[in-house]
Amino acid sequence: MMKTNRIFLLLTIIALSALILTACNSGEPEIDIDAQRTGFAQTADVQATMTAQAQPTATNTPEPSPTPSFTDTPEVTETPEGTETSEETTTETPEATATQQASTGTDSAAWIAQDPPDNTEFTPGEEFTITWSLENTGSSTWGTNYYIQFASGEEMGATDEMVYLPYPVPPGTSVQISVDLVAPGSTGEKQSNWRLYNNSNTSFYEFYIIIDVVENKD
């Protein structure tokens, strides 16, 4: 039994020796602990970088813009009926007042003015000159063979003589024609009527003069 144990012990020693010799002759390099630590650190950094790249980048979600507050629209104030928002003054131009009516046709005329005006005061027998302004409103030209003549009413010193126009009067123009008169001997309002004739001795317009005959002028 002891021999067996010795043999077993001897074999064990031989085996251990052989094992030690094998380990010494293997020539394996010693492990560099610092290098391993550096490698582990680099590997950890690479893994961390890869992990960071693999993860999606977080995007900041913009905060929603505040909803603008609406300004109340002012209510439209209705203008009460009958109230004018603005006063507009319209000035009407008074029409000229003629003492006689205008005629129409190829030969036609219109009274424009006269001097002296109607209802001028004169004493009995006072001499004066009446000048009428007449416009040719027709299509013919009044020649110097057109004339005016007393027609009715107070003659006022006038005769039946024809008073010819002093110059031709084309359409749209006017003429001034004068007659010397004398106020009647009786007082009161007096009217003398006259007519305008063409070269065919046809009357186509009538006009007049009214005066006031007084004893004493104011």
Burial of 107 (0-12, 13-18, 19+ CB in 10 A): buried
- By CB atoms closer than 10 A (0-12, 13-18, 19+), residue 188 is exposed
Residue 13: per-residue pLDDT = 75
Predicted confidence (pLDDT) at residue 157 exceeds the cutoff of 90: yes
Tokens of 130: 């009446």
pLDDT tens digit string along 44-69? 454 444 444 444 444 454 454 444 44
Q: Is residue 74 reached through a cis peptide bond, with omega within 30 degrees of 0 on the bond before it? A: no
In DSSP terms, 123 is beta-bridged to: none
In a domain? residue 99 = no
Count the domains in the chain: 1
In a domain, 92, yes or no: no
Question: Is 37 domain-assigned?
Answer: no
Structural domain boundaries, residue 157:
109-213
| Local structure of 194: helix, strand or coil | strand
* CATH value at residue 192: 2.60.40.10
Q: What's the chain's Rg over C-alpha atoms?
A: 69
> How high is the pLDDT of residue 97?
41
**pLDDT tens, 167-186?**
999 999 999 999 999 999 99
